[in-house]
Structure 1
Amino acid sequence: MAPTSTMPAPDDANVGRIPMLAFKVVIGIFFALSLIFASVRTAIRIGQHRRVYSDDLVLLFGCVTLIAATIIIFVITDTIYWDEQLILDPSPEVLTAALSPDFFHRVLWYQQTVFSFITLTWTTIFAVKICFLLFFRQMVERLNGLILFWRVVLGITILSYCICACGVFISCSHFGLAALKCTQGSGFTKNLALAATDVSLDLVTDLLIISIPVFLLFKVKIDLLQKLAVAAFLCLSVCMIMVAIVRLSGLRIAGTNIDIQWQVFWQEVEATLSVIMISITAFRSLLGMKAAAARDKKHRAWYSYRRKLISRKTRKSAEDELDTNRGLPSIPGATMTGLRTYIRGGRGPSIMMSKVDKHEPLLGEEH
């Protein structure tokens, strides 16, 4: 069954709205960048804290699902373009393959891999959302109103993930050739409505997560550098929202057909962008630590210079006083001890008297 599970290569590699070469190159670049950024983020976090936190583990899980999804998309690229050509401009060779006896098994394999890809990419996207929420938790845990809002957003995000990850199976519960029912009539309408619901939940959760740092801006006074960091995060989040809107706007093709090529391309781009975006937060914290270290170094340098100057003046004054008093007779060591004994009315401890005896030779020398 393995040799006949995949579709034959398409006759036209430029069929559809995204040429095959651009499809592979763009996905490959974004995937490589996401892994590089995630690796650097992990190195920075471990270097700073010497331990792994819960958001690091969630991101690691998201990277694993992203790797699996990317492998799938490169395996089925030819099949995606063959399907696109069958819909838009079928050649005799494509029609012949579509009428072959093993076509049912090919369609079933294709449907299962696409469903797996969509579920894995949704897992990556929502893993990053939860990672952001865990990152923000330490900032809002002492603010009663915001921590309650944070918990509500976390619950909505988890529920939205369940709907998005299972939505592809809800939209089309048929497998094999029976799945063609999902592309016609009420099946197509249901499919398109659930796809729109998935994108809407994606947008809503993004907006809810964005609102947390926006609220923090009004609750806490921060410097310009931190404001710019929050602004950069908001800009990246807006980019994610735009990608989701683009994916939804081009989902329909040739009447009542779902454009799988368009859907999987932008789904993969959004998943890789989300990993890059969460990784940038580690660079922000690293810059913040460097800036704090520079300020501390500057403060310590000034303080150290001032302390040295005061120490030098004190030492010079002591030396001058020593020069002034040089040549005068020294005060016997037992004078203060005897004075303390006299003040106490001769009731001092025996150690005081021993000190007096100890210094009697000195008194004898003075006489």
Structure 2
Amino acid sequence: ISFPRFIATLWTFSALASCFIIFRLYVRLLTYRRLFLDDALVVAAWITTVATAVMWQVEGPVLYHYSPVFGGQVLPTLEFLDAYLHLQGYMVAWLVLFYSGLWLVKLSFLSFFYTLGGKMRTHRIWWWVVFGFTVAWWFVCIGIIDYRCLINDTSYIMTHCGSTGHIHKDNQIIYISCAGDILTDLLILSVPIFLLWETQLPQRQKLVLLCFFLITVVIMAIALVRVILGVDYSQTMDISWFYFWSSMEMGAAVMVACAASFRQLYITSRNRHLFGR
């Protein structure tokens, strides 16, 4: 994918996420006259999305210029090594922001789902299990980043980071982080489904709520596409393609987290119409 198309898509998703955030905050303030922890977490995730967009706007041209070297089609030059030393900090920061943004959205969902269960003991126990696993996997994803080949001197990078074994290791890290991303999404989704199963709501209302919860499948689908299309186990990953889908996943996650605000606004407007408030 070309850099102009990449940066245009990145800013489009960032702009859409910004609109969704503004709408979410408007609905929350309109409905409750205050904001909650889940709102703060989504806003923090949105900040990471915008921050990564700014980073790519500044450093993206350099990365794209040397993408053939990253892909193994061209041998590295001294000029590339100097540029890579400059890029190292940005790449590490982007990876940390990427995982943090995704996990802040997950924690936002969990924060919201915590309040739904009231004092149901089984719900609270399962919520804490999912919360602990989700936070633990966040640290795993950040901890398994290959820092040695991202922040190191050129001699180490040239000696150790281009071998076939290291390529396999890097791709394994991507597979593991993607699996954890999807698994935590499924576990988080199980919290409201478990709650709906236990409550005595009308069937139609249960189906409506379930459909809203299942919107998170969009995030899982993008995560799968990011790995399936961007990573070949036997080859160095296409960095531009991988970062392209990763950025889309970040923006989509923020928008999905705000999607429930549309239904909330509808209910609020309907109640005001019915009761004259």
- Under a length normalisation based on structure 1, what TM-score does the superposition of the two structures give? 0.68
Alpha-carbon RMSD across the aligned residues, in angstroms, is 2.4
Equivalent residue letter for 1:51: R
User: Which one has more relative contact order, counting CA pairs under 8 Å at least 6 apart?
Assistant: 2
Q: Aligned equivalents of 2:207 and 2:148: distance in 1?
A: 42
Asked if 1:207 is matched to 2:190, the reply is no
- Quote how far apart the aligned CAs of 1:289 are: 2.4
Equivalent residue letter for 2:21: A
Q: 1:143 to 1:183 in 2, by over 3 A?
A: farther
- Quote how far apart the aligned CAs of 1:126 are: 0.5
Q: 1:225 to 1:179 in 2, by over 3 A?
A: farther
- Quote how far apart the aligned CAs of 1:83 are: 2.4
Range with greater deviation from structure 2 (174-183 or 277-286):
174-183
Q: How many residue pairs get matched?
A: 273
Residue in 1 that maps onto 2:251: 272
Q: 1:254 to 1:230 in 2, by over 3 A?
A: closer
Residue in 2 that maps onto 1:32: 15
Asked if 1:111 is matched to 2:88, the reply is yes
| Greater Rg over alpha carbons, structure | 1
Structure 2 counterparts to residues 55-94 of structure 1, below 5 A: 55-86=38-69, 87=71, 90=74
Residue in 2 that maps onto 1:148: 125
Q: Does the 8 Å contact 1:118/1:267 carry over to 2?
A: no
Q: Aligned equivalents of 2:129 and 2:44: distance in 1?
A: 23
Structure 2 counterparts to residues 153-168 of structure 1, below 5 A: 153-168=130-145
Asked if 1:186 is matched to 2:165, the reply is yes
Match for 2:222 among 240, 243, 259?
243
Q: Aligned equivalents of 1:237 and 1:164: distance in 2?
A: 20
Residue in 1 that maps onto 2:207: 227
- Under a length normalisation based on structure 2, what TM-score does the superposition of the two structures give? 0.89
Q: Does the 8 Å contact 1:164/1:198 carry over to 2?
A: yes
Q: Aligned equivalents of 1:171 and 1:153: distance in 2?
A: 31
* Structure 1: runs of 5+ lacking an equivalent: 1-17, 301-367
Q: Does the 8 Å contact 2:10/2:248 carry over to 1?
A: yes
Asked if 1:218 is matched to 2:186, the reply is no
Structure 1 runs of 4+ with >4 Å offset: 294-297
Q: 1:218 to 1:171 in 2, by over 3 A?
A: farther
Asked if 1:134 is matched to 2:111, the reply is yes
Q: Aligned equivalents of 2:198 and 2:270: distance in 1?
A: 23
Q: Does the 8 Å contact 2:20/2:258 carry over to 1?
A: yes
Residue in 1 that maps onto 2:27: 44
Equivalent residue letter for 2:27: I
* Structure 2: runs of 5+ lacking an equivalent: none
Equivalent residue letter for 2:208: L
Match for 2:242 among 260, 263, 270?
263
Q: Does the 8 Å contact 2:219/2:252 carry over to 1?
A: yes
